[in-house]
Amino acid sequence: MVGLSYPPSVIDVLKNVDKCTFNVFALHEASGEHALKFIVYDLFTRYDLISHFKIPVSSLVAFIEALEVGYTKHTNPYHNLIHAADVTQTVHYFILRTGIVNLVKKIAFSTAAHFLLSDYGIIGCPLQSDYIDSF
């Protein structure tokens, strides 16, 4: 697998990924409800993280697809794959606008990985906050 095949509608939406007005809902619709997969792959490609960290493309795509499945498992209306894609794009926007990306590629990678997983598995249950507070 050389990479993802981008539908023309996805390419069109991703032209605005560097803007604070980026429409993650348009990407979700254009991508057949795979906004997370396309935004992550696009940003990992832009930041040259795939080659820098020698990430097999098939492994990255499988990982992102597993995240998408996990984010849809609990049908949480907020902490879902659209939110994860939105947070990922927002972090990209601030990393890009502040110039941090030019200084620290490894931190950019770990930051992106963190925000990809930040809300994974949240089912919206009040008991979850009790679990988190126990640490």
The residues annotated with a catalytic role in the active site are 79
Alpha-carbon torsion angle 96, 69, 8, 22, nearest 10: -30
* Radius of gyration over every alpha carbon of the chain, rounded to an integer in angstroms: 15
Q: Is 81:35 a contact under the CB 8 Å cutoff? A: yes
Alpha-carbon span 12 to 48, nearest angstrom: 21
